[in-house]
Amino acid sequence: MAPDDAPIVTLAEGRPVHDPTAATVLRGEKPKGGQLSLLSDTQLIETLAHFPRERIPERVVHAKAAGAWGEFECTHDVSDFTSVAFLSKVGKKTKVLARLSTVAGEKGSSDTTRDIRGFALKMFTEEGNWDFVGNDLPVFFIRDPVKFPSLNRSHKRHPQTNVPDSTMFWDFHNNNQEGVHCLMQLFGGRGIPKSLRNINGFGNHTFKFGKPEDSTFKYVKIHFKPDAGIQNLESDEAVKLAGEEPDYHIKDLYNAIEKGDYPSWTMYFQTMDPKEAETYRWNVFDITRIWPQKDYPLRPIGRLTLNRNPDNHFQDIEQAAFSPSTMVPGIGPSADPMLQARMFSYPDAARYRVGPNYQQLPCNRAQYVYSPYQRDGPMRVDGNYDGDPDYVRSSFHSLRLGPADIAHDEWVGKVTQFSSEVTDEDFEQPRDLWKIFKSNGEDKVFAKNVAAHVGKALPQVQKATIEMFNRVDKEVGEAIQKALDELDSEGGAGIEHSSAPCSKEKKK
């Protein structure tokens, strides 16, 4: 017998249900026991009809994730260069929603694969939401946004065999070598985190933080560093966990928060004067490059703490929609075509994935919204601005205006084709990284990791990969070749490449 305060189960329309476990049937007389379902059984029809509609499209990238609520606290005074409201006072706290993801795998894939981790935050500030949509590695594979779908397809399933394919993966990178710096990070010791509590979060892009009222700004690179330190898994351990505990990272984050062992990160900025950007040795808008910390040291800004698990994953995390275009007064995009393309792509994805009124859902809704020129649409639930004018410059409705955008700069001039041509300069930072690998013994691990992956690719693709790494340093190519030879003597990398891309063309 249920207690008196137990909920009464109802249909979705509210009608109390007598027995949710039984369908209503028409029982036949002959043959004995025959029964027919009835269309008038609303409970059965509604239950079956809702079930296949439980799914919304999974994110085309970053489909698998853990998420949590938390807070951000400003710990340092930044009033010298920005008036952003959530950084306006030391000690100021802002509510945060976080979603930490893998990139290539689907929603049901294993957590412990070698992949970039997404690090997405939504800060609910008093001047609207600010979304930080970063990754755990400081650089990215491409710098021309038109390549983004190709990059991701080459990391996902082969269109014919429906399995991830090393040939396709390395063929993409061999022919788009601006990604070599990111590849070296991914196949180095940091490619598989031990836990989501031990990963960095990098904004990758250069952003502008400034004071709109003074028309001044600084270029900023954003870093979140885990207070518990960086920790990683060895490949063998990760492969084992992928089989035994495919949700290893999700469970770890959930359990830590449940126990009160709240993960935290310190937020740092690297700041650069716009004048310096004009003559700095690297293009500061190129997302495949870092700003070395010896040139631009880290400046502490605040602390992020995740302290509450979502009550419902679908409602709070799956329906959450993050976008680099979600900025607040005092923050602006730089002249990086990748960033600008992303500013279109994420809201576009959210409108498709969640629906055009996705900003009204509690997980996405800003503290204060008055946006009467965006009306109607499916699933409108916020009052829809009653009878307020739905056209601009109404004589019957006075409105107050917000602050101006932060200053525009002079970087935009002639319209031209963006070039992602690869030059020797693209190999300089990877060369520096190789020196670090050698000094801390990571060089062998890196070579082994690459060999284990590229060893499954077609021989000509393996050769092209070695040639690409030779451009970093002959030693890198040699180290990978040696690791490949060792793998061969042990019987090879395992699974053969499942099929050569463009196999149809070959058959002709």
Q: Does 342 bind ligand HEM (CB under 6 A)?
A: yes
Q: Which of 50, 76, 135, 364 does the annotation list as catalytic?
A: 135
Taking the complex as a whole, the smallest distance from the CB of residue 341 to ligand HEM amounts, in Å, to 4
- Residue 172 as a binder of ligand HEM (CB under 6 A): the answer is no
Whether 428 contacts 282, CB under 8 Å: no
Q: Would the CA dihedral through 240, 101, 272, 413 be positive or negative?
A: positive
Tell me the C-alpha distance between 48 and 37, whole Å: 13
* Range in contact with ligand HEM (rule: CB under 6 A) among 256-264, 346-354, 449-457, 481-489: 346-354
- 346 by Cβ neighbours in 10 Å (0-12 / 13-18 / 19+) ranks as buried
Report the distance separating Cα 193 and Cα 179, nearest Å.
21
Figure out which of the listed residues 112, 135, 198, 200 binds ligand HEM, where binding follows CB under 6 A: 135
Which of 136, 116, 280, 287 has the alpha carbon at shortest distance from 207? Answer: 287
For residue 143, give the DSSP letter.
S
User: How many residues at the interface with ligand HEM, by CB under 6 A?
Assistant: 27
Other CB atoms within a 10 A radius of the CB of residue 445 amount to: 19
62 in catalytic set = yes
Asked if 133 is part of the footprint of ligand HEM (rule: CB under 6 A), the reply reads yes
Beta carbons of 130 and 328 less than 8 angstroms apart: yes
Q: Does 357 bind ligand HEM (CB under 6 A)?
A: no
- In the stretch 82-121, what mask flags binding to ligand HEM with x, by CB under 6 A? -----------------x-x----------------x-x-
Indicate whether 145 belongs to the interface with ligand HEM (CB under 6 A).
yes
The torsion region of residue 442 among left (phi > 0), alpha (psi -120 to 50) and beta comes to alpha
Separation of alpha carbons 264 and 377, rounded Å: 39
* From 30-38, 79-87, 244-252, 339-347, span contacting ligand HEM (CB under 6 A): 339-347
Q: Name which of 169, 80, 157 is nearest 450 in CA terms.
A: 169
For position 180 contacting ligand HEM by CB under 6 A, the verdict is no
Site string for ligand HEM, 274-303 (x = CB under 6 A): -------------x----------------
- Pick the binder of ligand HEM from 184, 238, 250, 338 (CB under 6 A): 338
Binding site for ligand HEM (CB under 6 A): 59-62, 65, 99, 101, 118, 120, 133-135, 140, 145, 148, 204, 287, 321-322, 338, 341-342, 345-346, 349-350, 353
Which residues are known catalytic residues? 62, 135
